[in-house]
A and B are shown apart, each in its own frame.
Chain A
Amino acid sequence: MPLKNTLKVHRAKLGLNQAEMGKRIGVSRQTISLIERGDYSPSVTLALKIAKACDVSVEEIFYYEEDNDEGDA
């Protein structure tokens, strides 16, 4: 999955666990866990909400990184 993120780092800076972070954004703990693991790419709306909760821009949390296979092609 090419969309990477630093949500875990930003969440740690805020001193929140996944459940608390989820509550703040309006999603479940499992969703935060999925995003942090890179198993789920959030919608633009959710990405904006996350960025707002962390008080940073979306680009500071989410960034696009080509997979090696895709880059070689």
Chain B
Amino acid sequence: MKGMRDFGKLLLWLVLGGVAGFLLVFVFEALASLWYIIVPYTDVLIEQIFWLQVGLVIIFYLPALFLGVRAKKWMNRINTDLDLEDDTFDKRVEQMIYRSLLFNRLFYVFNFTLFGLSIDGRNQSINGSILIFVIFCVASSLNEVKAVRMVQKKDPMKKGDPISFKYDKELLESLDEAEKLIIYKTGYHTFKFMEFALIVIFGVIFFTKTIFNTGNAPILVIGLIWLVQSIVYFAYAKKFDGSK
């Protein structure tokens, strides 16, 4: 009886998915007509991608740097000028470091994305694009290392050299039980979210293939990411479960 109910539920989800997919075709067809209006401008986008990279530095890298410097200043004030009875300033510094790391990570992702797009014959400043990518890749990595060192200075229990390959292991070992739980929960929620996101992205690129003729490469890439994520998840599940 329960099996029948499960089958019925799955069937209902399949039908609903089919209906949603059918309706999405109309949305994508509307988008397709828009896309063909936009396409001629993509040439301009690639030609001027160097300036987009400069904009990225201003929007993401500089705030990350600014927040890092500000956090360091506040930390020095906590250690010297301020006679603190509560944790307001500690919390403020932690928040600044968190935001600095967030901006830095976003910069990192977009920096790689724009670099990938910039390697194109239409890009008029290809050398500038490569230079800005390399310089700010190093700069944002240094920013991240500085932020980690700041966290370690604030909380000397946190171990690990951020430029060593053993950093993740050493850091994890030095965390207390609540911090470990937070990391495990964050990792699990990220995994679950990515499972959902990959299905949605897969659906989107499936439609873009049929309507915009984007080819098979995006499908293969998403399939590969999905496969790697699933294999890694099951391998670690087996390892930590301890069963042979």
Show the binding face of A for B, using Cβ within 8 Å.
15, 17-19, 26-31, 33-35, 40, 42-43, 46
Contacts and interface: CB of A to CB of B under 8 A. Distances in A.
Given A17-B87, A19-B87, A19-B90, A26 B179 contact: no
13 contacts: A17-B86, A17-B87, A19-B87, A26-B157, A28-B155, A28-B179, A29-B155, A30-B94, A31-B176, A33-B87, A34-B178, A40-B178, A46-B176
A27 B90 contact: no
Interface residues of B, number: 13
Q: Which 5 A-B pairs have the closest CB atoms?
A: A31-B178, A27-B176, A18-B87, A40-B178, A17-B87
Contacts, number: 42
A31 B177 CA distance: 8
Contacts of B178: 27-28, 30-31, 34-35, 40, 42
Contacts of A15: 85
A46 B178 CA distance: 10
A31 B179 contact: yes
